[in-house]
Amino acid sequence: MREIFRIKNVDSPVLHRQRKWVLTLVNFFHARWGERSFLATLAILIGVMAALAEVALHWAVEKLGHWVDALPEMVGNAGIPVFIGVMIFALCPLIGMILSYLVQRLLGGARYAKSLSPLILSLHRKRSSLPLTETFSHILSSALAVGFGGSAGLEAPSVLTGAAIGANTGSFFFVAKKRRALLLGCGASAAIAAIFDSPIAGVLFAAEVLLPEFSVSALVPMIMSSAVASVISQRLMPDMEFFLAKIDPWQFSAVPSYVLCGICCALAGVYIIKTAYYLSGKLKSRLRNPWMRLMTAGGILCLILWMLPVLRGQGYWFIEQLFAGNMTELRTKSTFLAILPEGDWIILGLLLIVILLKVVAAVLTVDGGGDGGIFAPSMFTGAFTGYAFAHLVNMTGVVTLHANNFAAIGMCGVFTAVMRAPLTGIFLIAEMTHSYTLLVPLMIVSSVSYFFAHLLEPNSVYRKALAESKLLVNDRDETMLQRLQVRFNMNRRYRVLHAGDRLTQLIREVESNPGNAAYPVLDGEGRLLGVIYLEKVLKAMLNKDEFDFLLIYDIMENPPEILNPDDDLAKAMAAFDLYHAEILPVCDKHGFFKGFIEKAMIFSKYRRMVKETDNF
């Protein structure tokens, strides 16, 4: 039986309770139809489960949102003063954050992951196991946080839920760990496909953001999973539309405007990344007590949302109003905005304020204690950025732009700048708007935004913290080598020399057994004193008479670099390149010699890793 199945060393208590018929069924299926067919079947199953999870999540958020919106009227009908109902409504985001935080602590503990960054790091380190509780915990916590009015998206919790479904499905059916990452990607792509009814974007998101090292053939199971999830979600929720987008044909004369809009989107995306990173760090460093952080962030969030209700929830309904050109709806439920006069500059100022504060509200919601993601806030900010750009250009009178078109391409541009997933951004907006009319403008804005955003900020919102903590690098070769430690790749077969040994003894040994490329010279306690390389011994063999009276001490050398067993192979490879060496010694922190690390061995290991990565 191939290594796709594994019974020992299971990584979840649930696997211990599986019955023998599961393994029998899996073995029969694999023997009859093969490994690829088995994984494809699991991909379809994962797609169905992920779609059901996303339907449940959006149904819960929708019901909670309607209940919260009707709360002031319900309180008034109960004979309670209206201002009390309004106060309760204003405090609902804080209430939702508290309930969400309690769910997180109950189901996930102190290390509850709300971002995709830990998932990306786990996949980077070839760890594809997720707790079983994550198949439903994110649904509950994010539904409470966003349903009560928190300003965040449901996409990150949905992706984490789908990834957990994929990983635990692989565990349940005894799939080997190196294949579970593919099933995890199937769950993540199915989640995006179910949310937006965009199967292509779901696959591209998993490939660009989570699993950039997978080969093209690995996309097939993710395509199947995404397609199934899209069909299931549309069947169960046929009216689930985030917004109805009115798209006009694009004009060639607007191409320079698309380029400028792409630059603006890059600036907005970099602003989101840096603001989210900065505010998150400040919240966690200044308010270390989680309850103090929750109450402070929740209180500020309630104030912001009371003044700007447009920032409540995911914001897709307000994006629809942008497409319709209905700017009056942006002032709904806000006494503060209702008193502002009409005018183009007032509208432009309001758009700018919303663009700047959406990410602030999202960080307060998520890092304050709630659950959610930056996915929807990025698209919300992008829509307002594109619309504001078109509105400003139209005010100048130089050229007339279709503001609704720029709202669509703005979503693509800011999403690309924040996530660094240009293909996902292009096809996501095309599928969400049910139109490929803007495909060329989307490509222009996405590429321009990606280029300028990368110049200003090299990392995406999910990778910035990991990169600055030196946990993740963008170079594929270095990334693969960082997964392996020197201690597991050392050559421990060596002949120990001492400084007082005669060189002639070593020459005779090399003549009989020339297998070692280097010899360690150790003291009486095993500490490294120096290294003798085979090339120098071979030179001595050409003139034995001259070296008859020399000791090992006389020809030993100080190695150019000494590695530690805890170093990774990326550091070892950098040392080889720096000193043009082929072999280096490895010692612990006390100087005790442990073995040699060879450059040829690292190349051999790397080739095997590349082959395993590209094989499905």
pLDDT above 60 (res 329): yes
User: How far is the C-alpha of 163 from the C-alpha of 152, rounded, in Å?
Assistant: 20
Here the tokens at position 539 are 């030179």
The answer to whether 92 touches 71, Cβ cutoff 8 Å, is yes
**HSE (CB half, 13 Å, CA atoms) of 576?**
18
The answer to whether 151 touches 163, Cβ cutoff 8 Å, is no
pLDDT above 80 (res 378): yes
Burial class (CB in 10 A: 0-12, 13-18, 19+), 404: buried
pLDDT of residue 22: 67
* Main-chain dihedrals φ then ψ at residue 127, nearest 5 degrees: -110, 120
Q: What percent of the chain has pLDDT over 70?
A: 85
DSSP letters, 20-88, are HHHHHHHHHHHHHH-HHHHHHHHHHHHHHHHHHHHHHHHHHHHHHHHHHHTHHHHHHHTT--HHHHHHH
The beta-carbon contacts of 504-512 under 8 Å, at least 24 apart in sequence, are 504/544, 504/547, 504/548, 506/532, 506/537, 506/552, 507/537, 507/540, 507/541, 507/544, 507/547, 510/534, 510/537, 510/538, 510/541, 511/541
pLDDT of residue 450: 95
Higher pLDDT, 189 or 343: 189
- pLDDT digits over 423-471, tens only? 999 998 988 888 788 899 999 999 999 999 999 998 889 888 887 776 6
DSSP letters, 78-116, are TT--HHHHHHHHHHHHHHHHHHHHHHHHHHTGGG---SS
From 415, 355, 407, 405, select the one nearest 386 (Cα to Cα). Answer: 407
pLDDT of residue 358: 94
The pTM score is 0.78
Distance separating the N- and C-terminal Cα atoms of the chain: 18
AA letter at 351? L
pLDDT of residue 548: 67
The answer to whether 449 touches 413, Cβ cutoff 8 Å, is yes
User: How far is the C-alpha of 436 from the C-alpha of 409, rounded, in Å?
Assistant: 12
pLDDT above 50 (res 503): yes
User: How far is the C-alpha of 452 from the C-alpha of 261, rounded, in Å?
Assistant: 12
- pLDDT digits over 521-547, tens only? 888 888 998 888 877 777 777 666 666
Instruction: Give the ranges where 173-218 is alpha helix by DSSP (H).
Output: 177-196, 199-205
Please count the other Cβ atoms lying within 10 Å of the Cβ belonging to residue 205: 31
Highest-confidence segment of 70-84, 224-238, 292-306, 340-354: 292-306
What is the average per-residue pLDDT within 120-138? Answer: 82
Higher pLDDT, 342 or 243: 342
Structure-token match 């669509």, residue found:
408
